Structure 1
């Protein structure tokens, strides 16, 4: 009921946490501390700690003291045990040192950092001296809380949608914590004002709190009647023993939730709000990054000492020479494999050549041999940026297997992180990491940061410019700016198929149909990458005049039947546009999108008549000129050919160039070839 009312009513709340919340994190409650300190007092005064409870009640004149209510004597006992502020501060520091947040704090951090709910629960008031709330938000959510550790900073207490607020009403263990009755007699004006401001439009949830603190009670009693509009919740097995605080709860018509265990109560919230489960990935990434960097830096320093830096000019010359050997194999997988095996003994010390060989094997789907070659290349040079990026792309091929996707993504990110760290000015590595963060991990903030670094490293890198253009319109909706970046990328390399495919999708959406058709058609006619051809055909089918749709479907079906897919590619902008234009086969488009991008079975397409209708093969009789072939007429209608649309069509696709050792938004590894 509570979660439903919060979600439906858009209600905001603040938490008020007491010492009971930190017990499972290893911090002793006030009652236990008091008993420990009284035992120590008696031992110091009498030489033993026997019957210390009775001794404290009678000999020390504390009528009514008992084991049950020991926590109520906290302020008096700590002053007696540690008579000056410095001793009290050191005692508190020892109590909270080296404590890790338990599950209840994990749930609280997940709630405070949740994209949909965080802004409604991102304020915490606490009488605790520990840092468990702030530690939990950073450790588990990678979010820095704004902590107000001292009353002099209370005027700066301001939460935001992205930054939780933690207000320590009695100070911090390291900054004059308030313990004694005199110190906690009343909250400062600054702290009371912060409480008033933050509770003006929220409800308040008490957890793990005893209610013995008079200063807090007085501050709450002075809140305006209009404050706390979303109510007060007292989460505890018992009502507070302090009569003044109990009266205030009654006046505020507080809801009593009879639950005493903080972790158990937070577990219920975890389930009702469907929050994420704990994940060790962040800690694993930190550990792996430290290990990788430690090894890389040692290798780098070792190379400097030995002075064994490679002659890059010599490597490039040999690479170009050896490439001619593979081109003679004309793309035959067995021939290429045989050539590589013959020359392997001469390649073993050259990471560049081994990386190129691995790319060939990946292209021909000889994955076991490719993985072996990537491993050999990285044994020669563990920090080779291009090989690391290529190996990441190799593993990304496996990401479509949903059950292995998290494991694959971790492996890919680690390889790309090594590539970026080994050469932080390598625009290709930085751009690839940016694309991976956005398209696969959906971390657009991190992607934006890597794009900035990539463009700073090389502002005229065509791949980075094109990839950033795609990011701009898809993620930020900045179509005009994206157009400029696409144009710059095309000026530098007008025949890169990934850029042509992405640019065509955006141009169709912005109604520049001539160029959109031209670029998509170039991809269909010339690209050796079936994934890019599939995407471009989807755009053409979604936007093309109705009388050609059967031909697009014929080519789409051929690729689908071959098992070609583009996992997680976003066709939603194209689908929305097609729906607005009342596409006659919008249901087929939606089903096709699910098959291509979301692993839906291809059988679902059989229900559509157009998908099952046979269409003539796009093959002409011998002797037909390219300019008048059926494929050309389909890809370039007369009105487009009259405007020069045929210029970008490539008629030669025989090259076996493996492309750059990298990956892009859908593992594109080729560029368009110029038309004959």
Structure 2
């Protein structure tokens, strides 16, 4: 049979699932992997035997062990034939076991050591890689081999995720079963490490336990023989006696008559092949194996192993006390990633920076190390951090860690949303299981893109990847809190995040904010703020939020101002500074009545974030309520609409302004956009905004919307309020328009507006 016919049979069988194949491998299968054949070893051992023994001793040995038919051939192979004829095609490997026994007869252990050295450090050839993928697929999952090497199992470990059952000793043969799904490797001459069988006595017959196991296998599997010359007595004799469905004997040359007779008796076929590797490359289609899949698996598994190892080192480092011994040991590692982790151990900023500068002098082309340095500089020198991130991306443009870290940084400092989103998307494509980047992207979608539906998907994805990742848990709690979607669920996640990291001041402060604005449990609020500030007394967010609590709830104004000032000092150049300044501006207006100072503070916020719709809304409200500068407020709102034309809160506030100045047509247009543009979206304060919009329709556009009052009542009955809003101007305009029930309008205006909240 030719090779193509065999491959066609295998291919047809793959579709019809008619037959299962097992593979019998001999020494010829391992040649391309650098392991010498029996013939090569015999050639190397013969000179040693000739040096060690006299010619007479050798002749006696040959006469006693080599059959008469082959004595002249063997003498000729040793250069000792004096007269008589010999066969030039004679292969001395036929008597490998006898030569091995003679070579190592005085020190048998030396033979094991020799073979172990010969097989050490050898890597499976490409044929073994393809064989491993075939074995992985469960149908043709058995290898029977006379070899001692571990090339088959090594290939399975390298090229697949399957762990084989290795029967490396006769005592394990009872585990041979044809119904096992995992790959099975049966070493009939034992594994190299388990007393391998080399001598003629040892390989003359197959163990009974192996025979029974192989009989079971051959009931269900047709053997394909590759690289096996039939030179041992054990397997060859067993193949002669066992019942086979058929057999395919693959050979580079013409097999000897003994093999041909066996194949014919078993209704089998001899198939000529160029080599072990070439046959398996050509067989990929027939066995349903893709070389592309092998290459991709190698890339992914190598990267995964490196990632797992580095993650473990990182976890160890992050939990380390920062001992000098650990730092010195890690400094000797020639890897920039590990070097970057060393900087994490160091607590002192200047020493940390020195470590990174030293690392970059050693690894100037490491974009990852450069990004680590950029991360250190984020709060100290934004421009330098951006410069380093850009350089890092030039060095390693497809490094997900660099891209994701850069996205988080640009998000914090309020850079272009389009640029940030592209970076997040690239990072997550490269690192689809990085929970930090996914959770941060969700926060970006929530706060910047205002896409709460998509944000919800990514928050949940981060939690699916790691349900106990404290940052993802806390981020999701904040999301549920600020969208008002599932308040009870939000509290569950806040508590879970604190249980996971009880000393995380950010988590404690977030929960304090939730207790303040949602639960109104003021005793607990102070308890959690104090706990958070005890852990980190310089946390600007907690300092600022605690100041708001002291101002609004405890009415301790001097203490509140003291904490506002502490928060501003603590922010330095941190992006958090803007929200602290904004809240302080509100304090300055309400408590100190200093409109001029408040104006300066609000302008500073907008100077820092000129495209922030949130700050434009706040400043616009300030211009209306405190400075009575309606024209400037209108221009601020128009600018904000250019940035976010569907922002419901902005549209509601702008509509209110237009009503108060008598621009009813524009107000109605803005209300309509607010309703249509946000239908079905989960937005912060959605119900409160709907309440305002329906109230505007009831108070001003009552003729066009006669049922508006019913919608207002329903929302009020559900407990919805628009805290802190003043609707005096709207009521005045309603009265001028001769509303049929102005008393009810005034009553609703008071009900809707209850109390004020701060930015959270």
How high is the TM-score relative to the length of structure 1? 0.50
Q: Which has a greater percent of helix?
A: 2
The answer to which structure, 1 or 2, has the higher relative contact order (CA under 8 A, 6+ apart) is 1
Q: Greater CA radius of gyration, 1 or 2? A: 2
How high is the TM-score relative to the length of structure 2? 0.45
